Amino acid sequence: KSESFCRPGISFMGAHFWILAIVFAGILNFGQPKPTDGFTSAIVDLPQYQAKIGGFFYNDKEDVPNAEATFDALRLAHVYGLKSQINVNDAIKFLQSLKNADHGYALRTGGPSDLFAVRLVVLSYKLAGITVPEVSELVNYIKSLLDTDTSLFAARTAEKADISSTAFALDTLEALGESQSKFFQGLLPSLHQTLKKHYDTEKDLFVFPGETSPLASNAYAIIVSKAAGFSLSEPKKIASAIAKFQDLDPASVTYGGFFTDAERTVVSYDGARAIAALRVLDQQYPGANVFDSINLDALIQYAK
């Protein structure tokens, strides 16, 4: 078993991981967790992880700023009221510099447009309280990534559509105020068929060809189901199937986390996504008691 994400340390990567603890605790209504020494150090030193060009990087060994680290910094600043400690305007200017000719955004300077990056940039604008510029062009870029046969979206131009990119696309469109648009609503019938096609009633899970993380795929599928208004007939069974991915070996260093694949790799982000997806199920189907199958004490211990 392995942990593919760093535990808190004296670096912004530690803060990046700590966001997951916030996610776990907040989603489960346990309040805000007490910061570790590593997290406190990362927060105190947050400005040192902002490059001269405005973007943020995760540690001084990899000092190339990127959209993901910049979003995480803005998120931390928003959650903990730390905007005065960083230069928000320069961070936004950096994100603006990642825009490409196709109206998409790259994760790093000079990179290709990427739907994940687009979502990060849009949410960063929201966190900074800034109006998203050129919304219509951005929506057209997202539309260009649509597979019209399945209503799934691709992460990049000419790549195969998948469920995670579709979750990013729908979330971004909703953030842009497009959820009631003719385009968005027109996706729903085909999306319903795609979700129905990929739901395995024997496994009580969604199964997508070529998926590398069944846990992440199901988390994204649940989120897409909610956005698309797709009714799940057995939400408790899905929750129970997801619970089987939890590492419940008390001797394990990843005890309480979630395995993301058959190799029993624990990926913190995938676990956070899974819990977020269960929270979505809990809100949609309050009588299903979807958290009954999760060892919450172990999860909290892992998040800390």
- Span 10-133 CATH architecture: Alpha/alpha barrel (1.50)
What does 51-69 look like in DSSP terms, one character per residue?
-TTS-B-SBTTB---BHHH
Task: For CATH 1.50.10.20, list the domain ranges present in the chain.
Answer: 10-133
Range with lowest mean pLDDT among 12-16, 97-101, 149-153, 279-283: 12-16
Longest dimension (CA), the chain: 54
How wide is the angle at C-alpha 130 spanned by C-alphas 223 and 283, nearest 5°?
Answer: 25
CA dist., res. 279 & res. 284, Å (int): 9
Tokens of 81: 């009221």
- Cβ contacts of 128 within 8 Å, gap of 6 or more: 74, 88, 91, 92
pLDDT above 70 (res 233): yes
Nearest 10 degrees: CA dihedral of 293, 298, 303, 304?
Answer: 160
43-73 burial string, b = 16+ CB within 10 Å, else e? Answer: beebeebbbeebbbbbbeeeeebbbbbbbbb
Of all residues in the chain, the percent with pLDDT exceeding 90 is 65
- Cβ contacts of 155 within 8 Å, gap of 6 or more: 114, 115, 116, 145, 162, 164, 165, 168
Q: What is the pTM of this model?
A: 0.86
What is the band of 19 on the pLDDT scale with cuts at 50, 70, 90? low
Of all residues in the chain, the percent with pLDDT exceeding 70 is 84
266: helix, coil or strand? Answer: strand
Tokens of 256: 């309480």
Q: What's the pLDDT tens digit per position in 5-14?
A: 332 333 555 4
Q: How large is the average pLDDT for residues 139-167?
A: 96
- 154 neighbors 144 (Cβ within 8 angstroms): no
Q: What's the pLDDT tens digit per position in 194-228?
A: 999 999 999 999 999 888 889 999 999 999 999 99
Distances (CA, A) of 287 to 131, 234, 281, 283, 291: 38, 11, 10, 9, 11
Distances (CA, A) of 248 to 7, 253, 271, 298: 19, 10, 13, 7
